[in-house]
């Protein structure tokens, strides 16, 4: 193994890789040597992330996918297998949120959008990729959750519910897959300065940066094989 490129033989898939945390995670894994598959619904930001990775001399490709559609996710998994022959790391990062609206005023369509992306989409991805990892008896699944999955979020109940659900899903799937040599971890960041985060009333200079979360993902996928961290809570040093 190349100590400077510890992931040089591995293939990583990052959902929601066009911007924010997903783009930062993709760049970090590529810098560690992984061939990174960038996926999401909108090609333009994915291509921008791919260009940045390519300029740095790392390997990447773009395969658009709608994480809310099972057929689209199954197609993604088939294309990764066909083009790259394997998947070693799956980072379920794609997420959306609705804030500033109390639950009793939230439209059902908005509830569906948040839950289908943040929770159902992770199920679809694990369903599509886990069997391939089981066949190799190895793999990492990293689910990007939030401290909103630990704490109440008034006027953001749908987002909070999706992340509480994602945490429970992660703990359970970790037990289901650990016997196959697959490590499942959930990362719960606090306020991150991205387009998704509500910034009203917060000091952006005190918020976490996307690269902070990418650093945690890199730590998880480069751990020694005899152990795994099931959950990481990431907080800003100072409250924004």
> Average pLDDT for residues 67-84, to the nearest whole number?
98
Angle at 234 between CA 231 and CA 235, to 5 degrees: 145
pLDDT, one tens digit per residue, over 145-156 is 999 999 999 999
Which fold would CATH assign to domain 11-234? Rossmann fold (3.40.50)
Cα 148 to Cα 22: distance, rounded to the nearest angstrom: 18
pLDDT, one tens digit per residue, over 87-110 is 999 999 999 999 999 999 999 999
What are 233's strand-pairing partners? 188
The backbone region for 55, taken as left when phi is positive above 0, alpha when psi lies in -120 to 50, beta otherwise, is alpha
Q: Please determine, for residue 1, whether its predicted confidence score (pLDDT) is greater than 90.
A: no
Query: What residue ranges do the domains of the chain occupy?
Result: 11-234
Residue of 123, 124, 159, 171 marked catalytic: 159
pLDDT, one tens digit per residue, over 106-129 is 999 999 999 999 999 999 999 999
Q: Are 25 and 1 in contact (CB under 8 A)?
A: no
pLDDT, one tens digit per residue, over 187-239 is 999 989 887 666 666 788 889 999 999 999 999 999 998 999 999 999 999 88
Q: Are 66 and 41 in contact (CB under 8 A)?
A: yes
pLDDT in the model for residue 4: 79
| All residues at 6 or more sequence positions from 49 whose CB lies less than 8 Å from its CB, including other chains | 17, 18, 19, 22, 23, 26, 27, 38, 60
Q: Is 159 one of the annotated active-site residues of the chain?
A: yes
| All residues at 6 or more sequence positions from 3 whose CB lies less than 8 Å from its CB, including other chains | none
């Amino acid at each position: 193994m190349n100590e400077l490129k510890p992931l040089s033989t591995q293939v990583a898939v990052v959902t929601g890789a066009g911007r924010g945390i997903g783009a930062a995670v993709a760049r970090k894994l590529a810098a560690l040597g992984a061939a990174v598959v960038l996926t999401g619904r909108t090609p333009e930001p994915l291509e921008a992330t791919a260009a940045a990775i390519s300029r740095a001399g790392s390997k990447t490709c773009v395969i658009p996918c709608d994480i809310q559609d099972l057929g689209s996710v199954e197609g993604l998994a088939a294309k990764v297998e066909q083009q790259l022959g394997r998947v070693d790391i799956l980072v379920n990062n794609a997420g959306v949120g609705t804030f500033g609206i109390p639950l009793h005023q939230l439209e059902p369509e908005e509830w569906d959008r948040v839950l289908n992306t943040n929770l159902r989409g992770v199920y679809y991805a694990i369903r599509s990729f886990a069997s391939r990892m089981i066949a190799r008896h190895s793999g990492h699944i990293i689910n990007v959750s939030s401290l909103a999955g630990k704490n109440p979020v008034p006027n953001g109940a749908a987002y909070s519910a999706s992340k509480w659900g994602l945490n429970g899903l992660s703990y359970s799937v970790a037990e289901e897959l650990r016997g196959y040599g697959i490590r499942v971890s959930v990362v719960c960041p606090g306020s991150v300065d991205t387009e998704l985060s509500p910034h009203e009333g917060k000091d952006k200079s005190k918020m976490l940066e996307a690269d902070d979360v990418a650093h945690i993902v890199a730590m998880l996928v480069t751990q020694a094989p005899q152990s795994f961290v099931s959950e990481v809570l990431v907080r800003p040093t100072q409250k924004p």
